């Protein structure tokens, strides 16, 4: 059993230079838990960033196999945390034990997945164009390219996933895999959880011989100082649009601007096609309700917008959907801040002249009550600001369109999203070519006959999308492609073989696939 320290972690050691502290609370009762955390001082932020900068050249030059060993050791340490840890996370977040156990498995699993990717070696992106000394009119020099880590990365913990998107979450895992030390800012909603996980990462670092400063943990309001620190070379963030934009603006205003990979806001439209509603309208209503209220709606892929074409079947679906939403029980949210934000979002919807409330008991008490609204399609076509805003919680908005043409108009008005879902029968697929082409420009993941609340951690997954879903649509925060965010290409021209990184040497000591003169090869040159 491990104890909560309440101190920051800098270069593998605890630090508590500041006198200001913040307290952890029970998410269900509001009761103060017996854990206080020292807010990092400006000096501690600087020390953490400098520790990461000192570790960077050592860590990035370790073999991919050594970094893979480190990630697997983190996974092992996370899996060894006992029931005391699970109970603590439950108290800080009001999430059930089964959810936390599943999330821990996902967190350790993504560490192991990145370890596998490191050993596979494709992340290097190795390309070799050998010299052509006899080429006319000019010879070509020997050119070799691979990718290396950007430098120290600041990672911000997310509120809704205390494990999978937090201390040892996907941003931390992918940054470490890329060879980038991490300075992690703990989320105020689950600080004791962060403390436990930071201990696990630090134990893994020591057991595998990683440099001091490869992982650092800070508590308190340190975001601005961290993003502006010259040692930090990239930022990973999951949270609100307002918070993400603020970080992007800070990073862009630095003397040396740096990339911010922020996942921020998405309403994840679900498109209900007529034949699907004819065939299984009641089943769709039941499944969609389950997705909307899952985990009190606290998923970034929660379906916040439902689109259907006017028909008797859609009317029947909406009647059933409304009845089921009205029967749903209230749920405790992650913290009082999340509940306050949810209530504010509901108030805005209730006050809008173009939006009608269809189902859900009046919001009261300290739990979130599921709600259903209907909005006029003109709000979407005309890019009404409110309809595009994510309401983080168990609520959704239905929009009825007149026909296929108006559906396309509505989709054109849609801003960038993480996901879009098509509920469709095979007989309708040939009518959706234009819809699919449009969605491809709007979202990072298109689902067919499934629901977006559930993100598989694998090589093919994309958890990203055009703004405002993320700040950079070229990446993902889930899956092995997430490593790309923290890598940059370096080209060697006419470099002696002995000075080249192993990924580019003639002998190919890593045994990786490389693009050689335009052909994929694994052999030595």
Mean of pLDDT values over 222-235: 98
Q: Where does the pLDDT of residue 2 fall: very low under 50, low under 70, confident under 90, or very high at 90 and above?
A: low
Cα angle 357, 362, 375 (rounded to 5 degrees) comes to 15
Residue 300 among the catalytic residues: yes
At residue 281, does pLDDT exceed 80? Answer: yes
Q: Where does the pLDDT of residue 53 fall: very low under 50, low under 70, confident under 90, or very high at 90 and above?
A: very high
Structure tokens at 15: 């630090």
At residue 402, does pLDDT exceed 70? Answer: yes
At residue 286, does pLDDT exceed 80? Answer: yes
Tens digits of per-residue pLDDT, 249-269? 999 999 999 999 999 999 999
Residue 37 is predicted with a pLDDT of 96
The two beta strands, 32-38 and 21-25, are: antiparallel
At residue 96, does pLDDT exceed 50? Answer: yes
Tens digits of per-residue pLDDT, 454-472? 899 999 999 999 999 999 9
* Closest listed residue to residue 413, CA positions, set 440, 389, 388: 388
Structure tokens at 172: 């931390």
| DSSP result, 159-203 | SS-TTTTSTTSHHHHHHHHTT--EEEE--GGGHHHHHHHHHHHHH
Residue 364 is predicted with a pLDDT of 87
Residue 1 is predicted with a pLDDT of 45
Residue 13 is predicted with a pLDDT of 96
* pTM of the predicted model as reported, rounded to 2 decimal places: 0.96
Mean of pLDDT values over 214-235: 97
pLDDT above 90 covers a percentage of the chain that reads 97
Tens digits of per-residue pLDDT, 328-341? 999 999 999 999 99
The two beta strands, 514-516 and 127-129, are: parallel
Q: Which of 72, 92, 263, 313 is catalytic?
A: 263
Instruction: Provide the residue count of the chain.
Output: 525
Q: Which domains are assigned to the chain?
A: 8-23+32-123+149-264+476-485 (3.40.605.10), 269-448 (3.40.309.10)
Q: Which of 50, 300, 313, 390 is catalytic?
A: 300
8 Å CB contact between 444 and 476: yes
State the chain's mean pLDDT as an integer: 96
Q: Where does the pLDDT of residue 377 fall: very low under 50, low under 70, confident under 90, or very high at 90 and above?
A: very high
Cα(201)–Cα(197) distance, rounded to whole angstroms? 6
């Amino acid at each position: 059993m491990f104890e909560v320290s309440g101190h920051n972690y800098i270069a593998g050691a605890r630090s508590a230079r500041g006198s200001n502290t913040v307290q952890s609370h029970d998410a269900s009762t509001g009761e103060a838990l017996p854990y206080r955390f020292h807010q990092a001082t400006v000096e501690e932020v600087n020390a953490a960033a400098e520790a990461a900068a000192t570790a960077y050249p050592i860590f990035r030059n370790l073999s991919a196999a050594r970094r893979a060993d480190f990630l697997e050791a983190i996974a092992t340490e996370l899996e060894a945390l006992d029931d005391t840890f699970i109970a603590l996370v439950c108290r800080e977040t009001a999430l059930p034990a089964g959810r936390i156990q599943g999330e821990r498995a996902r967190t350790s699993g993504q560490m192991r997945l990145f370890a596998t990717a490191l050993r596979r070696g494709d992340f290097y992106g190795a390309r070799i164009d050998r010299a052509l000394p006899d080429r006319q009119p000019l010879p070509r020099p020997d050119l070799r390219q691979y990718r290396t880590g950007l430098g120290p990365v600041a990672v911000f913990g997310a509120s809704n996933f205390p494990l999978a998107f937090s201390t040892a979450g996907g941003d931390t895992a992918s940054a470490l895999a890329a060879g980038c030390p991490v300075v992690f800012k703990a989320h105020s909603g689950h600080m004791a959880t962060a403390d436990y996980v930071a201990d696990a990462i630090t134990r893994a670092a020591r057991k595998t011989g990683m440099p001091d400063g490869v992982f650092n943990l800070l508590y308190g309001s340190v975001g601005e100082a961290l993003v502006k620190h010259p040692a930090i070379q990239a930022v990973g963030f999951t949270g609100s649009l307002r918070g993400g934009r603020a970080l992007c603006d800070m990073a862009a205003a630095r003397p040396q601007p740096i990339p911010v990979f922020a996942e921020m806001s998405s309403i994840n439209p679900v498109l209900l096609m007529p034949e699907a509603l004819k065939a299984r309208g009641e089943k769709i209503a039941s499944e969609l309700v389950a997705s909307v209220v899952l985990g009190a709606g606290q998923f970034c892929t929660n379906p916040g917008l439902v689109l259907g074409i006017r028909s008797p079947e859609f009317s029947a679906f909406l009647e059933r959907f409304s009845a089921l939403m009205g029967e749903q029980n209230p749920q405790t949210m992650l913290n009082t801040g999340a509940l306050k934000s949810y209530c504010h979002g509901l108030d805005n919807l209730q006050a809008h002249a173009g939006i009608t409330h269809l189902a859900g008991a009046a919001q009261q008490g300290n739990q979130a009550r599921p709600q259903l609204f209907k909005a006029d399609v003109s709000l979407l076509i005309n890019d009404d600001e409110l309809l595009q805003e994510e309401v983080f919680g168990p609520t959704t908005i239905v929009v009825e369109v007149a026909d296929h043409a108006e559906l396309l108009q509505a989709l054109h008005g849609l801003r960038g999203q993480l996901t879009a879902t098509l509920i469709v029968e095979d007989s309708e697929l040939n009518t959706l070519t234009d819809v699919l082409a449009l969605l491809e420009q709007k979202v990072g993941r298109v689902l067919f006959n499934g629901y977006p609340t559930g993100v598989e951690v694998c090589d093919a997954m994309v958890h990203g999308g055009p703004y405002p879903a993320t700040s950079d649509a070229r990446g993902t925060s889930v899956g092995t492609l997430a490593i790309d965010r923290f890598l940059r290409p370096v080209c060697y021209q006419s470099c002696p073989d002995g000075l080249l990184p192993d990924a580019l040497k003639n002998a190919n000591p890593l045994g990786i696939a490389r693009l050689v003169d335009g052909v994929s090869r694994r052999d030595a040159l």
